[in-house]
Structure 1
């Protein structure tokens, strides 16, 4: 088996509006509807609609031999329903071809797997229901945790939830001499298959494609196929995992990214012995070569491939810890608005904006952040969280009085 597995993460957060200290106790609406709508419409026009149409054409042109996989966060799906129903319909058309796989994840693109097994399972269950509701009863078999965060224990929990496989990063410090181009199994629960991102080939498309200073610029299909053909013959699967917004948003149309993808399947079929497969097909047909041991969580972010994009500095840890101190109180609440805001406040993007890294990774963080600085992001989030805590206190007081 020699195959390529394309996986696309599709996610947009609910962004917080500027929330000042004097608004605590006065304003319980935290979300920047104007920015969320405008950003969603922009990404839909630049990425989702044109790329979905291109993928649909490629699937039909190649009679289903070209296949891809998506993970659509729950809050992304909510925003598509509200702001861009035509984009949601285009995703539904892709899935209806039978050649596009959907994965489950945490509904709110949350970091809860690092803090609470109960919340993790609950968040995944809500996402399962949303996928079932919007995609004609679809039931994913494979899981993708937020930002490909994975450890042995997270994988064990995912297996307990009934999944056959999980995606994560092929981090060098985990693999050592091993290749990411094979199927592995979870170190605790071998029933769970593990697919590892080939980060070099993935990032050639996702990050370096339009970089004119890159020594291999411009990236052509013939050049990419040549690199694929250099992969040892015994290697079974090349996992190309990336943000869907790579196409048209991070790499603008003017870079040629759409034309690259338009011609890539033909180049692969004509110039290699590779096919295209979905994650489920990979785990069904490729035999695992051994266990992958990940005692400390990894992710696909930054050079370190660890958690420091979201957790690790004092700002991030304070905000994250304060949020999850509220878990039991939130679960005791009967207020649906409390539960909604609790989910939205868990979204990993809020903590990403608080990252204080500099140099190359810092540039990437600044690109995605709506704030002037990580400190502004922290202050805004903590102001919102202070009001959220006040709402919980008022509800608990009223419950006692009644």
Structure 2
């Protein structure tokens, strides 16, 4: 029986402010608060809330037949916490239905998997903690930023204990094979690979409202008919996209939500199920290994990383950023960590792209790729200076790690001793209180030894004289 695996990604761009060369060393705040609040409010109103309300109702209407999956970047969660907590509340309601799975992904929605294994693992672990905190789920399937994947990244995913991973069903990787089967990592056979159906996913997320597209208008019944017409042995259809496809890329006026709402109705009539990624990994068997020696992603026609690292400016910024990755991770300073997450986000490198692409790039405050590069490098220069000011470059990473480990151990020892001192002080106070109470009780029980003064007896003489 065929099954549809529907997945949406939620990430929020953190907009950097205009940062001049002369700001380096004097101003350590890098963000455009007004634009960040404005942009997320717009997306929430036009996309997130209408889409999530529709998906929630689809689950209720389907009686647990309809299922789907989400992933949220840690940066995205932080933005929602600050500006749109109602979205997290709605997602929690979806989680409570038992029909929604939340996947793991890098905290920053960055490119750490291409540069620093330990940073990548750390980011995924931190994002998983956020997912557990909000939705009471431990992610079992990993989705890397923009579906970035390779054999090496698959090995990392296995080391972190994931059962499966999402990636792109690119033709140059699959060759004659179909994306409608379950595969596994060639270097880590336990890791199942769920591939995105590029055509069907993009028909919804990129082309649905395009009146010049030959497939316009797209109706739910014909869309489901295409799935039903696939060969019987092709059992898995991965529809992966950004949640902003519903309302932003495809405006609500295009009736995109009505189209989405009708898909489960027609799918059920044709005997097609919905499954979460973990259910697919548990129920289906892999048909063969998938060899991906080079980096794969879902971006542009090339399906590689040239969107972020395709020109010298991008590569210079990337190399400079990750030159301090180990030091930032080792130092574990809260303020540096937050800036590190925001500076890693892949959109910072996409703004520097000089590629021609069918998907337009909204560069925000930047007038050109060079403008984006210059602003980012100014901020990055200040950030690296802060790292080096805290921990001088003369101290190598091993020495710094040893030093900070010693400091942390001493801190833990001091904390333990302070707790012991507090415990003993409390004992002393308790003992003193008991002694005072004991003394008070002893005094109250002791009989009085004081004699009252004897009464004067009147004598006969005294009586006579008074007469």
TM-score, scaled relative to structure 2: 0.82
Residue 184 of structure 1 corresponds to 183
How far is 1:328 from its partner? 2.6
Determine the C-alpha separation between the residues in 1 that align with 2:363 and 2:19.
Answer: 19
Q: How does 1:276-315 map to 2 (within 5 A)?
A: 276-315=274-313
**2:386 pairs with 1:388:** no
Residue 11 of structure 2 corresponds to 11
How far is 1:371 from its partner? 2.1
**2:36 pairs with 1:41:** no
Residue 133 of structure 1 corresponds to 133
Determine the C-alpha separation between the residues in 2 that align with 1:56 and 1:236.
Answer: 25
Corresponding residue to 2:366 among 366, 371, 384? 371
Determine the C-alpha separation between the residues in 2 that align with 1:187 and 1:102.
Answer: 25
Determine the C-alpha separation between the residues in 2 that align with 1:109 and 1:332.
Answer: 20
**2:343 pairs with 1:345:** yes
Determine the C-alpha separation between the residues in 2 that align with 1:213 and 1:26.
Answer: 52
Q: CA RMSD in A?
A: 1.5
Match of 1:364, SS state, is coil
Residue 76 of structure 1 corresponds to 76
Residue 174 of structure 1 corresponds to 173
Match of 1:190, SS state, is coil
Change (3 A) 1:261 1:392: same
Is the contact between residue 205 and residue 245 of structure 2 (CA under 8 Å) also seen in structure 1? yes
Is the contact between residue 4 and residue 237 of structure 2 (CA under 8 Å) also seen in structure 1? yes
Residue 156 of structure 2 corresponds to 157
Residue 252 of structure 2 corresponds to 253
Structure ID, larger Rg: 2
How far is 1:256 from its partner? 1.1
Is the contact between residue 74 and residue 127 of structure 2 (CA under 8 Å) also seen in structure 1? yes
Determine the C-alpha separation between the residues in 2 that align with 1:331 and 1:77.
Answer: 21
Is the contact between residue 47 and residue 249 of structure 1 (CA under 8 Å) also seen in structure 2? yes
Match of 1:70, SS state, is strand
Gaps of 5+ in 1: none
Determine the C-alpha separation between the residues in 2 that align with 1:368 and 1:64.
Answer: 41
How far is 1:128 from its partner? 1.0
How far is 1:258 from its partner? 1.0
Match of 1:8, SS state, is strand
Determine the C-alpha separation between the residues in 2 that align with 1:365 and 1:220.
Answer: 26
How far is 1:395 from its partner? 1.7
Determine the C-alpha separation between the residues in 2 that align with 1:101 and 1:368.
Answer: 32
Is the contact between residue 165 and residue 192 of structure 2 (CA under 8 Å) also seen in structure 1? yes
How far is 1:394 from its partner? 2.1
Determine the C-alpha separation between the residues in 2 that align with 1:310 and 1:255.
Answer: 31
Determine the C-alpha separation between the residues in 2 that align with 1:331 and 1:238.
Answer: 39
The aligned length equals 395
Moved over 4 A (4+): 397-400
Match of 2:306, SS state, is coil
Greater shift in the superposed pair: 99-108 or 368-377: 368-377
How far is 1:364 from its partner? 2.1
How far is 1:377 from its partner? 0.8
Determine the C-alpha separation between the residues in 1 that align with 2:140 and 2:203.
Answer: 28
Residue 206 of structure 2 corresponds to 207
Match of 2:195, SS state, is strand
Determine the C-alpha separation between the residues in 2 that align with 1:255 and 1:387.
Answer: 45
Match of 1:178, SS state, is coil
Determine the C-alpha separation between the residues in 1 that align with 2:247 and 2:111.
Answer: 27
Determine the C-alpha separation between the residues in 1 that align with 2:365 and 2:12.
Answer: 13
Determine the C-alpha separation between the residues in 1 that align with 2:325 and 2:66.
Answer: 43
How far is 1:397 from its partner? 5.0
Gaps of 5+ in 2: 396-467
Determine the C-alpha separation between the residues in 2 that align with 1:328 and 1:202.
Answer: 37
**2:257 pairs with 1:262:** no
Is the contact between residue 151 and residue 187 of structure 2 (CA under 8 Å) also seen in structure 1? yes
Determine the C-alpha separation between the residues in 2 that align with 1:344 and 1:365.
Answer: 22
Determine the C-alpha separation between the residues in 1 that align with 2:363 and 2:200.
Answer: 23
How far is 1:229 from its partner? 2.3
Residue 353 of structure 2 corresponds to 355
